[in-house]
Structure 1
Amino acid sequence: MQTLLFLAALLTLALPLGGALAQDADRGQALYAVHCATCHGLDGRGEGPMAGVLMIKPANLTELAAANGGAFPLERVVKRIDGRDPLVSHGSPMPVYGQFFGFDANAALAGEVPTVQPVADLVTYLQTLQRAE
């Protein structure tokens, strides 16, 4: 019984407070390479190998902050990826990877915006791509 209580206390200490999970740009970069680079390009400039066949050109993800007065539009980007702000340029609403990036209010926080852990990691990586104005 004591061992069980000790393990429960240890687990409680290991869990992040307030539902916020650590965001990892390296995990986000790996997710980006698998799920986003085909359209947005490895460098995020919207020139991936599939960009030419899309009805709407993929966004240049390195200019998100510049296009928003220098501030990274965190909430808009999170909601675009997880499907709460639909984008149909792909022939179907984002997220094109369905439940993997789909919104779950109990999952995680990217800053103060609730989302799933993969989206939090991906957005953290996208923030590293922003070029100075």
Structure 2
Amino acid sequence: MKHLLAVTAFIAGGAVSALPVSAQDADVGAALYENTCAMCHGGMGKGAGELADLLTVAPPDLTQLSKNNGGEFPMGNVISVIDGRKGVRAHGAPMPVFGVVFRPGGAGPGLEYGNEVEARGRTLSLALYLESIQAE
């Protein structure tokens, strides 16, 4: 129920509830993950990306988010980290380098006009993908 409320609040907060957002899909999220996260977090999300050894703070195992949160996926927290509202020490603040792609109103590939709907769809797609790779 918390998951549904977080997603509903996230979408409604952007006043997009009446608009279809086809990017809200774990498959889209998988492609976004591969292009923006895997270099540090690893292809399987376990924190063993190609750049992990170069970082001063080791990337976390993203497959353990639910386990580390009492068995429930922390959807609201994950969305807040992805879109830059909540900083992460390893990131130095909001999401680095690619954060603008996920920030509502940001610029970036396909977001030249600050397309908030698309940014929110990307953010939710990535969060749904991360939820789908949680360890049992």
Larger Rg: 1
Secondary structure of the 1:67 match is helix
Mind listing any 5+ residue stretches in structure 1 that lack a counterpart?
1-15, 109-114
How many correspondences in the alignment? 111
Q: Spell out, residue by residue over 1:7-62, the C-alpha distance to the aligned partner (whole angstroms, 9 max, x if none).
A: xxxxxxxxx74457352111100000000000000000000010011111101000
Q: Is the 8 A contact 2:85 2:94 kept in 1?
A: no
Q: Deviation of residue 127 (structure 1)?
A: 0.7
Normalising by structure 1, we get a TM-score of 0.73
The equivalent of 2:90 in structure 1 is: 89
Residues 98, 62 of structure 1: CA spacing in aligned structure 2 closer, same or farther, 3 A cutoff? closer
Q: Does 1:77 align with 2:72?
A: no
Q: What does 1:1-133 correspond to in 2, within 5 Å? A: 17-18=17-18, 21-22=21-22, 23-91=24-92, 93-104=94-105, 107=116, 116-132=120-136
Which structure features the higher share of strand residues?
1
The equivalent of 2:3 in structure 1 is: none
The letter of the residue matching 2:63 is T
Residues 18, 37 of structure 1: CA spacing in aligned structure 2 closer, same or farther, 3 A cutoff? same
Normalising by structure 2, we get a TM-score of 0.71
Mind listing any 5+ residue stretches in structure 2 that lack a counterpart?
1-15, 106-114
Q: Percent same amino acid at aligned positions?
A: 41
* Cα separation, 1, equivalents of 2:78 and 2:36: 15
* Cα separation, 2, equivalents of 1:61 and 1:38: 13
Q: Which runs of 4+ in 1 moved over 6 A?
A: none
- Superposition RMSD on alpha carbons, in Å? 2.3
